Amino acid sequence: MLHPDVEPLRSLCILQESLVLALPETHPLSAQTKVSLSTLADELFILFPAKMGPIFYEQIINICQQAGFRPKVAQEAVQMQTIIGLVAAGLGIAFVPASLQNFHRSGVIYRPLQEQIPKTGLYLTWRQHDSSPVIRAFLSLARKTTQWESNRDDT
């Protein structure tokens, strides 16, 4: 039940994206063109915190559990750039959205997985009853620049 002072939110997935593995460039798995999940069981992971992104966190945990292991968490970080920095420093590996490959950081390479895994979503969220011109303009722009379904009543 929502607290009476908390306004309800609307949320729509505007992009589905594959996950890739971010590895330190000196990592033995970096020599592979695709990495199998089964080879990650003993690795240290850098994860986005569960309290900040429970859906993304659970997705990573589920991917690992389906491969037969629970990830060993070396560090958590809130920003993807920080996660990549920790990977570059050699503190662990991380699952990241494929678009993060555009964030070129020395010391990090990205590898796709051999297995098919669920994509992750990018969500647009706003206060349900906010009809401000800024919100409406942003939703309109998002509609035009993404593949979100045009037949939804989302304003």
CATH number for the domain including 84?
A: 3.40.190.10
Mean pLDDT, the chain, whole residue set: 87
The answer on pLDDT for 149 being more than 70 is no
Do residues 29 and 1 share a domain? no
Domain that holds residue 23: 19-118
Q: Is the pLDDT of residue 101 over 50?
A: yes
Enter the pTM of the model: 0.77
5-16 per-position pLDDT tens digit: 667 888 777 778
Report the distance separating Cα 22 and Cα 103, nearest Å. 11
The verdict on 133 and 100 lying in the same domain is no
Same domain, 30 and 97: yes
pLDDT in tens, 72-86: 999 999 999 999 999
Same domain, 155 and 92: no
DSSP alpha helix (H) spans, 5-79? 54-66
Domain count, the chain: 2
Q: Give the C-alpha separation, 4 to 6, whole Å.
A: 6
Site of tokens 């050699």:
90
